[in-house]
Structure 1
Amino acid sequence: MHQDHELHTRRKGRNFGILGVLLSFVVLIFGLTVVKIQTGTYAEAFDHVVRPELVPSEASE
């Protein structure tokens, strides 16, 4: 059994801090993705295709 050096103890603490930041970022992106998928029609992307629902109809004029 050996005792860790003080430098390793500090690095371990920083590594856990970085792990927490990265995990929270992944959870944020995953949550945004789930919300975007669940909203359906509100999350349409710009894909260079004419979407009929956005073209003004002649009946509305």
Structure 2
Amino acid sequence: MAIGKRHEIHTRRYGRNVGVGLLLAGFIAIIFGLTVVKVTRGDYEPPRGEVQE
């Protein structure tokens, strides 16, 4: 049995969920972007020093 009329609380909850989802997606995009920049700059390469014997 389908509900004919949507209650007002469902509309508010949906709007809040969309907002939280967009914030989460933005946070993930920022972290991913920072990771890509850091890796392409070469910050994670080991130091190129002389080999000691």
TM-score over 0.5 (shorter chain): yes
Task: Specify the TM-score bucket, using the shorter chain as the normaliser.
Answer: 0.7 to 0.9
Give percent identity, aligned residues only.
46
In structure 1, distance between residues paired with 2:34 and 2:48: 27
Q: Which of the numbers 36, 40, 48 marks the counterpart of 1:34? A: 36
Structure 1 residue runs without a partner (length 5+): 46-50, 54-61
| Structure 1 residues 1-61: aligned runs within 5 Å | 2-40=4-42, 43-44=43-44, 51=47, 53=49
Across the aligned residues of Structure 1 and Structure 2, the Cα RMSD in angstroms comes to 1.8
Structure 2 residue ranges without an equivalent (≥5): none
Aligned residues: 46
Q: What TM-score does the superposition give when structure 2 sets the normalisation length?
A: 0.74
Normalising by structure 1, what TM-score?
A: 0.65
